[in-house]
Structure 1
Amino acid sequence: MAVVQILLGWIAHILFYLFIVAVVAFLGYCLYLRHIHMKYDHIPGPPRDSFLFGHATMFLREMKSGRVIHDKFLEWAEIYGPVCRINFLHHVMLQVTCPEATKEIMMSSKYPKDKFLYKRLFCLFGQRFLGNGLVTAQDHDMWYKQRRIMDPAFSSLFLRGLMGTFNERAEGLMEKLTEEADNKAETKVLPLVNCVTLDVIAKVAFGVDLNMLKKSSPFPRAIETCLKGMIFNIRDRFYEFNPANRKFVNEVREACKLLRSTGAEWINARKTAIEKGEDVPKDILTQIIKSAGKEDSMTKEDEEFMLDNFVTFFIAGQETTANTLAFCIMELGRHPDILKKVKKEVDDVIGMKQDISYDDLGNLIHLSQVLKETLRLYPTAPVTSREVHEDMVMDGIHIPGGVICMFSSYVCGRMDKFFKDPLIFDPDRFHPDAPKPYYCYYPFALGPRSCLGQNFAQMEFKVVMAKLLQRFNFTLTPGQTFDIEDSGTLRPKGGVMCSLQHRSHRD
């Protein structure tokens, strides 16, 4: 009995000391927060929701309501100006819409991607996701090595050689749309363009035929689940600890495992081919293997590093292009005059031929303008960010070092100080003779960390859209929503419902 009492006494003392330590730590954290507030509160920004959490609860409210959080950022930019402070616990983020500051920071390699965001992409709920791939690598030397190795797979010479695959996969989509038109069925566009872009990236990047339009596959669902999990992982630090979220958290982990196990399978098959001396394409998969630099005896971390890049390209090369195609079809359906003009251009440049050439793409001037205007209103990867460690001045405001700067092409693209009547879809903003936007339009980011695959994506977009416009008339189904879904990337919430009809040339 005496021993039990002694043990209980010890436990009580330990709990008391732990309580004191917790109180001291909490008070210390509050003092640190106060210091951060005093250091940065001269920068304009909205009132904090709370002393401790800053604006974090706003993120949660916007997510739960289904609204696009970037619209809130746009509202704040209009109210508080080109440099707007946002507090997230002890982190300070600045939303920057000042073109001069955008140019200075994004065009330089000395400002790394920020740890706060990109470490949240390393893992999703404890399961490795993008790791240290090309998008997420924060160390400049690590990133530069990867970029240098990957560059040959995105050279203009290599991209020219992809035209056959672009045409072939787009023809598969046209066959599916022909069935839809023959059946006079209402067609949801987004799932179909998701299939074709997934087919393209699997074939040209990894040498695999998925044939998504004819076969079912777990990949689209896995990608969607990972992207949705990514949003919760970034915006809600406590999401995975809520028992009510356990089912979805496990789904995200399994989706990550599926993508990475698929990558391991495809990489091992290619490595075996290389070891046997077989001819292999100089595609992204070969470059991923080359980037590890140890094809014969790799460590576990080398293998994980290769899988990081596999997942990065598998998702980035498919999701954003599909969403851009769907948004473009949606806007053309809402603007028959623009649709008529771009159809005429396709008729003049492509005519009735089935295979579109690389040179044809360069002559589709108005279609290029339509793409740029689509990306202005709907940049499917809307935000990038950088760390600024030293003091600097932005728009006349002294900024102490140690902040994260967010740059949103979505916000800038919808501000009337940069684009007149910004919510109106007007491809003539990007006419060759129109003045170029000055560091306020960057759907593929800017500077050395700009998107490596932007030319790839634009070529794929033009081939698919040109064939669609060449073969079909389409009208949007009445009553559908034109809202945006914020699910990691931006996508049309309703999926874009259309009625398709075969074209009778020249209609």
Structure 2
Amino acid sequence: MARLPPGPRYLLSHLHYVALPPATVFLGTSVARAYAGVHIHALVVAVASFLSFPIFWLVYRAWRDTSANRAAAAHGAIVAPLASTQGVKRRGKEGYPRDFLFRLSEIWGNTFSFEAYGLKRMVTTEPEHIKAILATNFNNFEKGPGFREQMQSLLGVGVFNADDELWKFHRSMTRPFFSKDRIGHFENFDRHATDALQQMKARMREGYAVDWQDLISRFTLDSASEFLFGQDVRSLAKGLPYPPTADVRFVQPEEDEFSTSFLAAQLVAAGRGKFQEAWGLSEFWKDKVIPHKAGIDKLINPIVEDALRTKADMETKEVTEEDTLLSFLLKVTDDRQIIHDEILNILIAGRDTTASTLTFAVYRLAEHPDILRRLREEILSVVGPTRRPSYEDIRNMKYLRAVINETLRLYPPVPVNNRCAIKDTVLPATATQPPIFVPAGMKCVYSVFMVHRRKDLWGPDALKFDPDRFLDERVQKYLTPNPFIFLPFNAGPRICLGQQFAYNEVSFMLVRLLQLVSAIEFVPEVAPESIPPPGYADSPGSDGTDRVWMTSHLTTYARGGLWVKMTEAKE
């Protein structure tokens, strides 16, 4: 059945729900005719069969809700209140991220449920509930079959789409490659940062703005591919795009097929979430991710094939200093699909999440020249204007870490995530709600993006970009007593193994950038498609000053790019 198109596959897997009601009507009329001699007109049977499904669905919903309420009461809990969405403004793709959920939360509290396409899902921005889902009740939750099916054609059986023993396999395999010794070697970062910044400087000297998001995505892709797989895919060698409004007489760079295909595939896969398990009906005859896989596989397949050719030369199955993640993966499996999918999954972690943080860090530095000056002063005092930063240098720059943390707070790379309850679970009581009962099979959505912007958790200035909140008395007031209010890297057993790698890479690039430039100007007008629509920042989640069009697929990114001009520092 896995080879069927999405629509027929969905219908076949749910055939019993569709067929049971009319089958019951047909069986009942047949029994009445055979044993009671009651003749029922065919038209009546047809109408009853047609109406049987909505009647069955109403009865099923009533039974489902009654059962959940009874089970909740037996546990001394309640079910999450069912939010009415009537009258709540929906902005869709044109709106501020999570605006609809922000507005529902204002009415229904921090944990509620709502119904879409006949299925209930719970939404929470409550740190204690997220802590239970990710950590204290970890074994009661998983990604779930719905999520795995939604992401299968993109992520396959990789770590982000795995549960149970397959997830444990991926986790145990990846862990050794993020030790301090491995992530503290900065030659890789320096080589690619130098390449990226030289290209940026050349473009600035031509008088054109640079799409920092595009540049940094190439930098993180080249760095990650070399670190994890031993192969630099050289995406920076393709050159940088010019602003869409530029009257360019130069040859435009070669299109980055991987990035274009990967973005399109992620948008399709992420868009399935709004349809929940019924997404196959919106892609009835063809999986819309598949046409984009060729551009993705064009980059990944040569890495896999080259690695498989060298497999015979491996002398040991132990992890050595010379091993990359890929070479170690070859020591534990011959499965081509597992190798392919793991490469893709790890590239997402190594490229998109770090690129997202660097994109929005530079946006905020452009919007806050006072913060940029202060950060640059720290960098020059610790590292100087030209020296390459060391691991110890980065550890000693407290304001640099605060700037990165504040970026991660307001712009977490993964803004929303979900888990599925695999058994009945009770989430703990909070200051505003009693314990919440979560029945087995319930999809639980949690938004780190929304948690990070809650004023009751971070203070009345929660929507303001202020790195000092990670340095002053607010740390003890808000973060220390409740660490689950800050979760850019998730938490619990599935916490991101690469978080220190990401901190190092973001820190290194920001140091190198601010050694080179003394000012940054955000110029979205050079790319009109990057300018948010009117009313975009009119959201409970925004302070009203947002000028970048923030959106997301699997990770957060700036729609249309982040176009900036920079002033080179005087030597």
Q: Which residue of 1 aligns with 2:127?
A: 99
* Structure 1 counterpart of 2:166, one-letter code: M
TM-superposed CA distance for 1:98, in Å, is 2.4
Please, which of 318, 322, 328 is the counterpart of residue 287 of structure 1?
Answer: 328
Counterpart CA distance in 1 for 2:364 and 2:82 is: 33
Q: Which residue of 1 aligns with 2:116?
A: 88
Are the structure 2 counterparts of residues 208 and 14 from structure 1 closer, same or farther at C-alpha, using a change threshold of 3 Å?
Answer: farther
Q: Which residue of 2 aligns with 1:462?
A: 507
2:504 alignment partner, SS class? helix
| 2:404 is equivalent to residue 371 of structure 1 | yes
1:405 alignment partner, SS class? strand
Q: Which residue of 1 aligns with 2:313?
A: 276
| 2:362 is equivalent to residue 329 of structure 1 | yes
Q: Which residue of 1 aligns with 2:437?
A: 399
Please, which of 340, 345, 348 is the counterpart of residue 312 of structure 1?
Answer: 345
Are the structure 2 counterparts of residues 79 and 211 from structure 1 closer, same or farther at C-alpha, using a change threshold of 3 Å?
Answer: same
TM-superposed CA distance for 1:89, in Å, is 3.4
Are the structure 2 counterparts of residues 183 and 470 from structure 1 closer, same or farther at C-alpha, using a change threshold of 3 Å?
Answer: same
Q: Which residue of 1 aligns with 2:303?
A: 266
Is the CA contact (8 Å cut-off) linking 1:476 and 1:497 kept in structure 2? yes
Counterpart CA distance in 2 for 1:19 and 1:156 is: 69
Unaligned runs of 5+ in 1: 1-12, 296-301
Counterpart CA distance in 2 for 1:103 and 1:416 is: 19
What is the aligned-residue RMSD (CA, Å)?
Answer: 3.0
Q: Which residue of 2 aligns with 1:219?
A: 258
Counterpart CA distance in 1 for 2:328 and 2:418 is: 27
Matches within 5 A, 1:129-148: 129-139=154-164, 141-148=165-172
Is the CA contact (8 Å cut-off) linking 1:345 and 1:364 kept in structure 2? yes
Please, which of 226, 230, 255 is the counterpart of residue 203 of structure 1?
Answer: 226
Counterpart CA distance in 1 for 2:47 and 2:352 is: 48
* Structure 2 counterpart of 1:129, one-letter code: L
Matches within 5 A, 1:17-36: 23-36=51-64
Counterpart CA distance in 2 for 1:205 and 1:491 is: 23
| 2:518 is equivalent to residue 493 of structure 1 | no
Are the structure 2 counterparts of residues 122 and 497 from structure 1 closer, same or farther at C-alpha, using a change threshold of 3 Å?
Answer: closer
Is the CA contact (8 Å cut-off) linking 1:118 and 1:136 kept in structure 2? yes
| 2:191 is equivalent to residue 168 of structure 1 | yes
| 2:465 is equivalent to residue 428 of structure 1 | no
TM-superposed CA distance for 1:315, in Å, is 1.9
TM-score of the aligned structures, taking structure 1 as reference length = 0.84
1:423 alignment partner, SS class? coil
Are the structure 2 counterparts of residues 499 and 400 from structure 1 closer, same or farther at C-alpha, using a change threshold of 3 Å?
Answer: closer
Counterpart CA distance in 2 for 1:401 and 1:286 is: 42
| Mean CA deviation greater in 402-411 or 471-480 | 471-480
Unaligned runs of 5+ in 2: 1-40, 70-77, 239-253, 526-530, 532-546
1:110 alignment partner, SS class? helix
* Structure 2 counterpart of 1:170, one-letter code: A
Is the CA contact (8 Å cut-off) linking 2:140 and 2:425 kept in structure 1? no
Q: Which residue of 2 aligns with 1:188?
A: 211
Are the structure 2 counterparts of residues 376 and 233 from structure 1 closer, same or farther at C-alpha, using a change threshold of 3 Å?
Answer: same
Counterpart CA distance in 2 for 1:261 and 1:477 is: 34
Q: Which residue of 2 aligns with 1:7?
A: none
TM-superposed CA distance for 1:83, in Å, is 1.5
Select the structure of larger CA radius of gyration: 2
Q: Which residue of 2 aligns with 1:3?
A: none
Counterpart CA distance in 1 for 2:195 and 2:58 is: 59
Deviation string 1:252-290 (CA, Å, 9 cap, x unpaired) is: 312224434643331221122231248994222123334
Counterpart CA distance in 1 for 2:361 and 2:193 is: 16
Please, which of 77, 99, 114 is the counterpart of residue 105 of structure 2?
Answer: 77
Counterpart CA distance in 1 for 2:427 and 2:345 is: 35
Is the CA contact (8 Å cut-off) linking 1:273 and 1:280 kept in structure 2? no
Counterpart CA distance in 2 for 1:500 and 1:340 is: 13
* Structure 1 counterpart of 2:111, one-letter code: V
Deviation string 1:335-386 (CA, Å, 9 cap, x unpaired) is: 1111111001110121133422222211221111111111111112112222
Seq. identity, %: 23
Q: Which residue of 1 aligns with 2:290?
A: 253
TM-superposed CA distance for 1:16, in Å, is 10
Counterpart CA distance in 2 for 1:210 and 1:142 is: 28
Counterpart CA distance in 2 for 1:138 and 1:88 is: 25
Is the CA contact (8 Å cut-off) linking 1:120 and 1:233 kept in structure 2? no
Number of equivalenced pairs: 467
Are the structure 2 counterparts of residues 246 and 331 from structure 1 closer, same or farther at C-alpha, using a change threshold of 3 Å?
Answer: farther
| 2:498 is equivalent to residue 453 of structure 1 | yes
Q: Which residue of 1 aligns with 2:453?
A: 414
